[in-house]
Structure 1
Amino acid sequence: MFDNFKLEVIELPEANLRVRHGGYGPPLLLLHGHPRTHTTWHLVAPLLSQHFTVVCPDLRGFGQSSKPIDPYDYEASSKRAKARDCIALMRYLGFDRFNLAGHDRGSYTAFRLAMDHPINIMKLALLDCVPIIEALERCRVQFATKWWHWFFYAQHNKPEQAILADPISWYGGSIEAMGVENYMDFLNAIKDSETVKGMLGDYRAGLQVDYKHDLHDRSIGKKLQCPVHLIWSERDDLPELYDNLIQIWQPWSEHIVTGSSIDSGHHMAEDSPMELAEQLLTFMSK
């Protein structure tokens, strides 16, 4: 897994991140979603590393990266804090400007990173997401039914108890779908109580400080300054919830937002790695 990539834990000002990086060419930072770790990219990253220097961290709170001490410290679990980690990480590796792609919860960190640090981001790919504020303001019965976990995970204590009672049944996943090493890394994460709390902190911050950050940016007319490309899964529920993802994202961008679907379930890096790598390469290389 990740042939010719380097694996290390990097100490940064606010967090220690477990990171894999390798390849040649312009830098590309890949941010995973919930409940995955950076190993979700194990089939995509080697393909992209032929054209880019690919960096895959475990986000703060996830995997084997450090965890906020208090799972209800919304600032410590915020996308803004995680964005600062990403800037520090890329500078540590020698990159001031870089391409960026984020999936699921990682897409929210990617969005905040591009909003807060526009001069550092060259291009932004957002996978399976709409802005947090847009999801919450458009919330209806269908959203609350399909994405009920957003609100459950934000509660105190009960989510941890439910998940840790039987993490495998709760989250699903299999060796066949994920590959042996990726599955084992995922398994170690979901069975660790501190990691589960760290992952839940991402949702708790989402309904608190992250929403407020989005609201403030919209109120002052702040927009993404880099080219933006959306990729969404045909076999996930975003197309059912939203008629036009590009239309939702366009007001958040100074550039014309592009996008396309991919024949995949939600975990597209594992389901359709070659198609995803091709789409990212096409967008990032323009």
Structure 2
Amino acid sequence: MFEQFVELTVDVRDRESQLFVRVGGEGPPVLLLHGHPRTSATWHRVAPRLVEAGFQVVCPDLRGYGRSSKPEPTRDHSAHSKRATARDMLHLMNQLGHEQFALAGHDRGSYSALRLALDYPSAVSKLALLDCIPISEHLSRANANFATRWWHWFFYAQPEIPERVITADPDSWYQGDPVIMGQENYDEWRQAVRNPATIRAMLEDYRAGLTIDREHEEADLAAGKILQMPLLVLWSLRDDLELLYGNPLDIWKDWASDLRGHGVESGHHMAEEAPDELAMTLINFF
């Protein structure tokens, strides 16, 4: 994987955190943020295509995930909030010499991407969010259907129990497939989810989502703060976002002034399952 990339460990925020990051190519910068329970390796079929198209591509492991630092949990979950992760990403890109960059995030990474774009709008030239509507929008619409399909959000929020359940047999819990993921991506992911500190950090990501992250989003919406940069929203047609809400763009209209998007013929992990379509869509947008 990532044959044209270098691997770095970058100190961010006055050495508070260390991020494992892959960087490749030359040209306009693009930052790619992975989702749960993946690492930056999930982009291994997409990132090289962006490099070939003339971009410099930056693929970090989010705080708590993969080989990046795993901060101690805090009572208010702020150590794993999307605001904390967004600051990490801004400092990372600044240290790599980029004051402004294009940004794409998938799943949990999309929430960090959204927060980065809301908190630091001048840093983000264009934003792509994959399989995403804001956390607060999910929760404001939560019903029996949502709770049945997305029950893991509420299970992960419980103290201590999910750590014990998942670490007992992480392979069975997450059920990765090396054929779909690619063997090297699968091996890296499998090593990550066998680390109890990674499991705890990923759960804290979800706990932050239901508490402090939701509060930050609701405050932005109440203040009329919306995305000013061009926004591309993509969603997997063989996942359940459209089943839950219909066209996700109808929800995003309240959050963005320049919006476009469409469904992708894929399961949830579109970077692994539909890399050609995703890469071409991102190249054309960026």
Q: TM-score, normalised by structure 1?
A: 0.97
C-alpha distance in structure 1 between counterparts of 2:77 and 2:255, whole Å? 24
C-alpha distance in structure 2 between counterparts of 1:128 and 1:162, whole Å? 26
Partner of 2:224: 221
The aligned amino acid for 1:44 is V
Matched ranges for 1:34-73 at <5 A: 34-50=36-52, 51-70=54-73, 72-73=75-76
Query: Unmatched 5+ residue regions in structure 2?
Result: none
The aligned amino acid for 1:217 is D
Which of structure 1's runs of 4+ aligned residues deviate more than 3 A? Answer: none
Are the counterparts in 2 of residues 29 and 101 from structure 1 also a CA contact under 8 Å? yes
C-alpha distance in structure 2 between counterparts of 1:78 and 1:69, whole Å? 12
The aligned amino acid for 2:205 is D
- Residues 40-72 of structure 1: CA distance to partner in whole angstroms, max 9, x if unpaired? 000100001122100000000111100111265
Matched ranges for 1:134-145 at <5 A: 134-145=137-148
Partner of 1:25: 27
- Residues 8-67 of structure 1: CA distance to partner in whole angstroms, max 9, x if unpaired? 111112310000011121100000000000000001000011221000000001111001
Are the counterparts in 2 of residues 72 and 201 from structure 1 also a CA contact under 8 Å? no
- Residues 70-97 of structure 1: CA distance to partner in whole angstroms, max 9, x if unpaired? 2655111000000000000000000000
C-alpha distance in structure 2 between counterparts of 1:65 and 1:124, whole Å? 23
C-alpha distance in structure 1 between counterparts of 2:166 and 2:74, whole Å? 15
C-alpha distance in structure 2 between counterparts of 1:216 and 1:183, whole Å? 38
SS in 2 for 1:28: strand
The aligned amino acid for 1:156 is P
Are the counterparts in 2 of residues 71 and 201 from structure 1 also a CA contact under 8 Å? no
The aligned amino acid for 2:2 is F
Are the counterparts in 1 of residues 29 and 101 from structure 2 also a CA contact under 8 Å? yes
User: Given the superposition, is the C-alpha separation of residues 191 and 72 from structure 1 closer, same or farther in structure 2, using an over 3 Å criterion?
Assistant: farther
- Residues 215-263 of structure 1: CA distance to partner in whole angstroms, max 9, x if unpaired? 10011100111000011101001110011211101111122x1001111
C-alpha distance in structure 1 between counterparts of 2:51 and 2:240, whole Å? 30
Are the counterparts in 2 of residues 72 and 204 from structure 1 also a CA contact under 8 Å? no
SS in 2 for 1:43: coil
C-alpha distance in structure 1 between counterparts of 2:81 and 2:215, whole Å? 11
SS in 2 for 1:55: strand
Q: How many residues end up aligned between the 2 structures?
A: 283
Choose which of 16, 19, 35 in structure 1 pairs with 2:18: 16
Structure 2 residue 276 is the aligned partner of structure 1 residue 279: no
Partner of 2:244: 241
C-alpha distance in structure 1 between counterparts of 2:75 and 2:190, whole Å? 24
C-alpha distance in structure 2 between counterparts of 1:236 and 1:254, whole Å? 26
Of the structure 1 ranges 115-124 and 241-250, higher mean CA displacement relative to structure 2 is found in 241-250
The aligned amino acid for 2:7 is L
Are the counterparts in 2 of residues 17 and 58 from structure 1 also a CA contact under 8 Å? yes
The aligned amino acid for 2:104 is A
- Residues 249-284 of structure 1: CA distance to partner in whole angstroms, max 9, x if unpaired? 1111122x1001111100001101111101111111
Percent identity, aligned pairs only? 54
Are the counterparts in 2 of residues 75 and 81 from structure 1 also a CA contact under 8 Å? yes
RMSD (Å), alpha carbons: 0.9
Are the counterparts in 1 of residues 76 and 212 from structure 2 also a CA contact under 8 Å? no
SS in 2 for 1:49: helix
Partner of 1:151: 154
Partner of 2:136: 133
Note the C-alpha offset of 1:106: 0.2
Partner of 1:265: 267
The aligned amino acid for 1:16 is Q
Matched ranges for 1:100-179 at <5 A: 100-179=103-182
The aligned amino acid for 1:37 is T
Query: Unmatched 5+ residue regions in structure 1?
Result: none
SS in 1 for 2:65: coil
Are the counterparts in 2 of residues 31 and 38 from structure 1 also a CA contact under 8 Å? yes
User: Given the superposition, is the C-alpha separation of residues 71 and 34 from structure 1 closer, same or farther in structure 2, using an over 3 Å criterion?
Assistant: farther
